[in-house]
Amino acid sequence: MNKFGCCTSTKADQASILNCKLCQIYFHYRCIFPQKENKKLSSDLKSSWICPDCSQKCRVPNHRNKDNTPVRGNALDVSDSKEDSADDNITLRVRPNQDQIGQSLSRDIQNIIKSEFSAMKLDLSSISNEITSLRQEIQDIKIAMGFINDEHNKINDKIFQMETKFKAFDALVASVEHLKSVSEKIEMDINTKDQWARRSNIEICGIPEKKGENLLRLTEEIAVKAGFDLKPSDIDFVTRVASNSQVNKPKPIVIRLQARYRKDDFLACLKKLKLMCSDLGFAKNDSRIYFNDHLTKFNKMLLQRAKTLSKEQKYKYVWVKNCSIMVRKGDTSPVIHIANVNDLKKIK
């Protein structure tokens, strides 16, 4: 798209364009010759036309008249003689139409300014809409932040309440642990006292129950077979007791002697005795009869767990002496006393 030296417009038909042969700048025919705007350009004019600026520069003083009257050069003659002869014989001089050029430039500038202002108005309108939208978004954010702040405060309140409850819970846990420790100590004390009360008892397991049985006479018969001199005055009582673990088996018989040392001697003799039920008159019953210290329920559980762990860890000996549970891994290993659950950890 060509630029023109007469105005800012770039629109033109090729037939209505003049090109200066010196500066090579394009001009609108209608801007240079407004009175002949609708007239066709001749080829001679288009081929030899010089713009007003170049025409002024090419004029030289008239030495013939000895004054400063400019002389028109043949090559720079800007009049169209053929067109003049055809139209009122008027010689056309190339003169810049400054008023029309200024008016055209003024109109173009005004149009440009109007266009720019219109674009600015559109931009300002768009910016205003965006600002309105941004304000609404900020308002929404403020509302959301207010909601989040309220929820945050609620969460803080709940956390504070939970911390308070946890502190109370920690205190409760500490209290429970203390009570548990006290309870375990009490249970151990009760178990120790209960076991102490059974220190003179012998428990016999495996003898079948029989209606109308005489346990005192049966005890004397067992003492005779064990070779122990048991006197009637040695016995405090003989009775059957309920069994917690032996289901569908005869209730154990408990013999309480007056003196502990007599009980220890009697039990030592009984443990050497390999006695069967058939030896006591129970025909066709070859079940083994066992004689042990009369342990408490807790100590029986402790003895059973000690036997299980000893088997797993390949301990050789587990026995009870004077109501105390003891284990030993080998013949030369030290004896381990099992008095409570924590002592079971020693079997390793």
Q: Is residue 90 over pLDDT 50? A: no
| Mean of the per-residue pLDDT values of the chain | 82
Q: DSSP string spanning 255-305?
A: EEESSHHHHHHHHHHHHH---BGGGGT-TT---B-EEEE---HHHHHHHHH
pLDDT of residue 301: 93
Single-letter amino acid code for the residue at 246: Q
Range from 33-37, 129-133, 302-306 carrying the lowest mean pLDDT = 33-37
More confident of the two residues 46 and 59? 46
Q: Does residue 237 sit in helix, strand or coil? A: strand
- CA distances (Å), 229 to each of 219, 235, 261, in order? 12, 12, 14
Range from 74-83, 148-157, 310-319 carrying the lowest mean pLDDT = 74-83
Token readout for 94 is: 């190339």
Q: Residue 7 — pLDDT band, cuts 50, 70, 90?
A: confident
Q: Is residue 336 over pLDDT 90? A: yes
Long-range contacts of residues 282-290, Cβ cutoff 8 Å, at least 24 apart? 282/207, 282/208, 285/208, 287/206, 287/208, 288/206, 289/204, 289/205, 289/206, 289/207, 290/204, 290/205, 290/206
Rounded to whole angstroms, how far apart are CA atoms 189 and 174? 22
Token readout for 202 is: 């012998």
pLDDT, average across residues 293-306: 93
Q: Is residue 325 over pLDDT 90? A: yes
Enumerate the domain spans of the chain.
Answer: 14-96, 98-195, 198-294, 297-348
In CATH terms, the fold of domain 198-294 is: Alpha-Beta Plaits (3.30.70)
Q: Is residue 244 over pLDDT 90? A: no
Range from 26-35, 63-72, 273-282 carrying the lowest mean pLDDT = 63-72
pLDDT tens digits, 194-209: 999 999 999 999 999 9
